Amino acid sequence: MFSGHPERIINLVMACAFFFVLLQAIKLLHSKKHFLTIVFFVFAISCGLLSTLYWGVYEFLRPETRMPFAANELCEWALFLLYASSLRAVFPKSASFEKKIIPVALFAAANVVLWIAWSGEWVQDILTGLSMGWFLCVITSCLCLTCALSTAEWVGAGTVSFLLILGQSLTFFTPEPVSGALDKGCSTLLLVAMLWLILKTVWTLKKEKQVQKGLSLSYAAFAWGAVFMYMSGGTAYMIASMLTVSCYFLMLWAIKEEVAEG
């Protein structure tokens, strides 16, 4: 069943992770502290689980068959919007305007352009970009509210994002050896940034005991994982998927700490 199909193994691992995190999150519903945050988080995880199960079954029944518009896309849109709502329940002021939101919105728009260039699926790519773009903007606002990143870290994040868009764009205009090298370079940037976000989240929650900073960073790590997966294929996609799985546990950890702190 799984021999020669690592994608199916990844889907199974992701489904198990979603299910475990969902059960743990449901246990938090008895608490009146940050109840809406937990509810939105539970619904988001449920959407992730349904999307993963749907895609796993589809891959099993119709392997190597491309579907222009899959039902699991609806779950992914809802997932981004629900995660954004769960953050806003903790940080009501996250709807306020921050200057840093402008480059983040441009980054999301650039991602949409790349997705369309890769797949040619205008409607689903635009809708995915809108939902993920809103999620990224909410995260950015929360990171600013909690001062989770230093000025140097913001500059680094902006530089990496710019290099990613530039590198992926150049792959359309360069010959195979160069485009392959650019793609690997982008994958390396995505990986390094992902690992840095995960480690920074763990450090913030465990060592610094800065719960709200850690909460914002855990969501940022997940969002970057989504960018990583959408920009990747093959081995890079599998690595991105596995790292993103760890973010579900980071978000759950952060929410538990936030509930405990009140």
Instruction: Of 80, 139, 129, give the one whose Cα is nearest residue 109.
Output: 129
The domains of the chain are located at 6-261
Q: Is the pLDDT of residue 61 over 80?
A: no
Which stretch of DSSP H or E encloses residue 193? Answer: helix 176-203
pLDDT of residue 95: 60
Q: In this predicted structure, what is the pLDDT of residue 96? A: 63
pLDDT for the residue 65: 60
- What is the model's pLDDT at position 3? 39
Range of lowest pLDDT (32-41, 76-85, 88-97, 190-199) = 88-97
Q: What is the pLDDT of residues 139-164, one digit of tens each?
A: 999 999 999 999 999 999 999 999 99
**Span 25-38, pLDDT tens digits:** 999 988 778 889 99
**Confidence at residue 18, expressed as pLDDT on a 0 to 100 scale:** 93
pTM over the 0.85 mark: yes
Please compute Rg for the chain using Cα positions: 18
DSSP code at position 29: G
Select the more confidently predicted residue: 20 or 61. 20
User: What pLDDT sits at residue 205?
Assistant: 96
For 103-133, write each residue's pLDDT tens digit: 999 999 999 999 999 988 888 899 999 999 9
The CA–CA distances, whole Å, from 90 to 72, 75, 146 equal: 28, 23, 11
Q: How confident is the model at residue 69 (pLDDT cuts 50, 70, 90)?
A: low
Of the pLDDT bands very low, low, confident and very high (cuts 50, 70, 90), residue 1 is: very low
Say if residue 53's pLDDT is above 60: yes
| 2 has pLDDT over 50 | no
CA angle 76, 167, 245 (to 5 degrees): 35
pLDDT tier for residue 97 given thresholds of 50, 70 and 90 = low
* 15, 56 Cβ separation under 8 angstroms: yes
For 19-31, letters b (16+ CB in 10 Å) and e give bebbebbeebeee
Residue-wise pLDDT for 203-218, tens only, equals 999 999 899 999 999 9
